[in-house]
Structure 1
Amino acid sequence: MISSALEAVAVLLAGVAAGTINAVVGSGTLVTFPVLLAAGLPPVTANVSNNLGLVPGSLSAVLGHRRELVGQGRRVLRYGIASLLGSVLGALLLLRLPAGAFDAVVPVLVGVGVLLVILGPPLQRRVARRKAERGGTGHENPWWLWPAVLGTGVYGGYFGAAQGVILLAMLGIGIADTVQRLNGVKNALALVANAVAAVVFLVVAEEIDWWAVLVIAVGSAIGAQLGSVVARRLPPVVFRAVIVAVGVVAIVVLLVT
């Protein structure tokens, strides 16, 4: 557990950074999780405590993007159910599977997400063109998006690093809308995944470092407000570049740790 003022300050700053990054794109766990491990927490305890601590940051990010969420209630509800169901399964897997069971899969998932972000605009145009040729207009609610969000929810409940990168990539391909509005949806889905997993952990988990939870909660809530302002002001091209950069860093960190 956190045992010194220096460790508390380090975790607080990591929480601020994670909240900012999560509000913009995701991957904040890659900041807080290593800091908790450095503070001496066992991996599963660190993961559980980190998830609980980031819930207020996720809520803060949603509130910071409430302008972008206007008119998207049905969309958030539809995919929020998928995120909810997936995160329950993911949280239970974390508590039941051997530590590191997903280690080989996570970098591949993040890599696919980064690739989809890069290919997103041309893929969007292709999907919209094919639907228009069949008599439709634009594209919304493709059949594959709901199970894809479900799968991302499983990952989010299990670990969740770079969950936002994967969600933004899938939403960007499946839904014709601005990247800022889709980022608002991503934050709402991430909040569902984090909050539901947190409830599962509260009921089932045996070890939680509540000092770590409190410090990360304060830091991530502050950081999320900063990140919401930054995300709103980024041009779409720059936004996508930031997503790709964060995703590449996430892959490198996951491979070397």
Structure 2
Amino acid sequence: MITIAVANQKGGVGKTTSAINLATALAAIGHRVLLIDLDPQGNASTGLGIGRNQRALSSYEVLIGRATVAEAVIGTCVPGLEIVPATVDLSGAEIELVEFEARTHRLRHALARAGDRWDIALVDCPPSLGLLTINAMVAADSLLVPLQCEFFALEGLSQLLSTVERIRSRFNPGLAILGVALTMYDRRNRLTDQVASDVRAVLGKAVFETVIPRNVRLSEAPSHGLPALIYDHRCSGSEAYMALARELIVRLPGRGAKAA
């Protein structure tokens, strides 16, 4: 199983939207996909129609060892996509985990015991660089960074990349930057174009060719408990996430065969 952490310490960059819709797109392509909601807000769970009363077991129980991934997982409305949901209990997990041995490796060990039930796992991280996000990065093979096309985008990215270097040197030398996905792109806005050009100038091929546009249907879909790809598969946002998923698959070693 290949594990991808979807992370950015800034909120409002389209991280959860990206996690939900990439997971859906990857499942549509034919992969067996696991989405792990590691954000105490639980928006990825809500966005896939998982109600609070359905979350008897969650990523919190997985992290503290009360449940396995297989026990906590829930099916979704998307064939081939399952989720380990999140609850507000996660907000206290960072404090509780301090007392555990190998507290940075809790998710990694849990996924190692999950077997080969899934091809790809995506971890939706909280908007911070705390212990939850560190657990995701230690468990991950690679990192996907959604980056909003706004003036301060690169400023926040440098802090994230510094954290990645620390994770590599101390815990997970194999952690790779899978790519940076430009989100909330507005072709009518000159600043958006300038930011996208600046990011590409600095990061080069690390930036995916596909950009995710500002799109009303992407914003509406979570309130219906559906990924945008199911809510309106013909909208520009859905089409962009399908294109991004195909581009992403090509970057994964040994996974390009299913990308067509």
Bigger relative contact order, structure 1 or 2, given CA contacts below 8 A and separation 6+?
A: 1
Do the two structures share a fold, i.e. TM-score over 0.5?
Answer: no
TM-score, structure 2 as length reference: 0.24
Greater strand content: 2
